[in-house]
Amino acid sequence: MSQHLSAAQLSLLEAALLQRQRELQSELQTHLGGQDRVEHAREQLLQDVDGERAHDADREVDLARSDMTLDALRQVKQALQHLAGHSYGLCIECGQAIAFERLQHSPEVTRCISCQSAAEGYAGSAQRHSL
Ligand SMILES: [Zn+2]
């Protein structure tokens, strides 16, 4: 098992990941007001029964935002698992080593730049229906 990162670099990145995890968790807590996510959505649905469209849009944004936080949190946890399993810093798509500079900038990344931009490129064009 090859590891291109030094122990010092790894512990730096681990600290960054743990910090990020804490931030995301508290963001999620604040956002949902300590409520269970499903409960939160259900309550808002009940409030919207009279068909106030403006509230619909608010709810969409609300849920989309917590989805993004949850996704980010999932990614951070996955990276921490990789770290524990000594596969951290390797692209999950092609297995290539991800540069330390890239990990330092966003320690939760699990793909190298080319695989990441390929994945984002597809998602982006599907969403925009253009290019
Ligand atoms: Zn790759």
For ligand 1, the distance from its centroid to the CA atom of residue 66, given in whole angstroms, is 28
* C-alpha 97 – ligand 1 centre gap (Å): 8
Q: 20 near 58, Cβ under 8 Å?
A: no
* Residue 130 scores a pLDDT above 50: no
Could you tell me the residue ranges of all domains in the chain? 7-128
Distance CA 66, CA 33 (A): 12
Angle between helix axes 7-32 and 53-84 (nearest 10 degrees) is 160
Instruction: Read off the pTM.
Output: 0.68
Least confident of 8-12, 28-32, 101-105: 28-32
Instruction: Give residue 90 CA to ligand 1 midpoint distance, Å.
Output: 8
Q: What is the mean pLDDT of residues 111-124?
A: 84
Residue 66 — very low, low, confident or very high, per pLDDT cuts 50/70/90? confident
- Give the residue-averaged pLDDT of 43-64: 67
What is the assigned CATH class of domain 7-128?
mainly alpha
Q: How does DSSP classify residue 50?
A: T
In whole angstroms, what is the distance from residue 131 CA to residue 128 CA? 8
CB 107 within 8 A of CB 79: yes
**97 bridge partner residues:** 90
